Amino acid sequence: MTERNRDAASISFEAVGKAFAKPGGGTVHALEDVSLRVEPGSITGIIGRSGAGKSTLLRMVNGLERPTSGRVLLGAHDVGTARGRALRDIRRDVGMIFQHFNLLASRTVAGNIAMPLEIAGVAKSEITARVAELVERVGLSQQANRYPAELSGGQKQRVGIARALATKPKVLLSDEATSALDPETTQTVLSLLKDINRDLGLTVLLITHEMAVVRDIASHVAVIDGGRIVEHGPTHDVFIAPKHATTRSFLSGVTGVKLPAFVKSRLQNTPSEGGEEVIRVTFFGQHATDPMLAKLTGELGIEVNILAGAVEEIGSHPFGNLLVSLPAARGEEARRYLQDHNLNTEVLGYVG
């Protein structure tokens, strides 16, 4: 399928706030002063814990929620003020993938995919051709006449993706689309989304609570905490040098960057005589596979104990995190050596 959708649209959140009235009185502020631009054609992940405000933010892009303050722009269109036909046109430009699929049990795969086109009043012949293209794109040509009850979780999500693409949107929203799937199926769905982004040029905005999903698919990431964006930027840059405690907490859940419990329980804020300094060493780009710790020991005679670590890939960039301990008395010397060789270091604490 070589057809390319219409030009991707940017998404801009400009000083967005959202307040909800409490049933018993008072107000809950779900979002406060959120400013973020999602570049056209990018895959941007918004990561946050439950209740952080990420779902509310996502629902503003297609007008399911309206901001209490600020603006949400899809391209040049103000979503929050759109009504009637203008809002319907915006929603045609926005496809939505849901966590729990939201398929109609009484409709076949083809019937579920056709539904947005039927609602839009598209001719039957065009619907038939479009559905055939979409089931092929998501790898479900053999299942076109099956019902949701006959499908696996991954197949159901593929139907959801095809349905979201039916109206040839400019933007694809993903609401925790992989959180109900097993790890292997998650990878196939993420791979499909990357292919769609590449082939069709769509802007993809996804929300998740899993940093591994951001690592595997997103070109950009925004971290939301307590209704505010606390950090954002290219995924590679954020992984290399996380600035906010919430970001570092999420990164600690990615394989290879979590302190072993026996070390974490002994961690102190100040060094003790003869103790060890615990540091995170971040490798990236061409330095990700360099044997710098071996060189540190060989050239400076500083013994290094590796506590945890891994080398992975962020986009097309190698990326590694190592948690190590070394003599606290030589910590500054070691960190200066590593930084002189273009590696990032962060002191996590000290153990006796």
Do residue 226 and residue 292 come from a single domain?
no
Domain region containing 221: 11-250
Q: How confident is the model at residue 2 (pLDDT cuts 50, 70, 90)?
A: very low
Query: How much is the pLDDT for 124?
Result: 94
Residue 15 lies in a domain: yes
Gap between the Cα atoms of 194 and 218, Å rounded: 9
- 80-107: per-residue pLDDT in tens? 999 999 999 999 999 999 988 999 999 9
Query: How much is the pLDDT for 44?
Result: 97
Do residue 240 and residue 114 come from a single domain?
yes
147/346: higher pLDDT? 147
Query: How much is the pLDDT for 149?
Result: 96
User: Residue 37 belongs to a domain with what CATH number?
Assistant: 3.40.50.300
Query: How much is the pLDDT for 237?
Result: 87
Would you say residue 5 has pLDDT above 50? no
Do residue 240 and residue 268 come from a single domain?
no
Residue 65 lies in a domain: yes
| Arithmetic mean of pLDDT over the chain | 90
Would you say residue 167 has pLDDT above 90? yes
321/152: higher pLDDT? 152
Q: How confident is the model at residue 253 (pLDDT cuts 50, 70, 90)?
A: low
* This prediction's pTM: 0.82
Do residue 275 and residue 236 come from a single domain?
no
Q: What angle in degrees, to the nearest 10, is found between the helix axes of 292-300 and 331-340?
A: 130
3-state secondary structure 256-301: CCCCCHHHHCCCECCCCCCCEEEEEEEEEHHHCCCCHHHHHHHHHC
